[in-house]
Copies of this chain bind each other. A is one copy, B any other.
Amino acid sequence: MPDDRLAIVSDPLSVERLSTMLEAMARDRGEGCGAVCSFVGTVRATHQGRHVRYLEYEAFAPLAVKVFHRIEHEIGRHWPGALVAIHHRIGRLQIGEASVAIAVATPHRAEAFQACRYAIERVKQIAPIWKHEFFEDGDLWIEGAPADPEDEAAQQRALEQACA
Binding site for B on A (CB under 8 A): 14-16, 19, 23, 26-27, 30-46, 95-96, 107, 109-110, 112-113, 116-117, 120, 161, 164
Contact = CB atoms under 8 A, between A and B. Distances in A.
A116 B14 CA distance: 19
A2 B27 CA distance: 34
Contact of A33 (B14, B30, B42, B117): B42
Contacts of A41: 34-35, 109
A126 to B, nearest CB: 17
Nearest to A110: B161
Given A95-B32, A117-B113, A42 B23 contact: yes
A32 B19 contact: no
A45 B31 contact: yes
Contact of A34 (B33, B35, B42, B161): B42
Contacts of A34: 41-42, 44
Given A34-B42, A35-B40, A43-B32, A15 B19 contact: yes
6 contacts: A15-B19, A32-B45, A33-B42, A33-B44, A35-B42, A113-B117
A120 B110 CA distance: 11
Contacts of A46: 31
Contacts of A161: 110
Contact of A16 (B14, B30, B109, B113): B14
B117 A39 contact: no
B96 A23 contact: yes
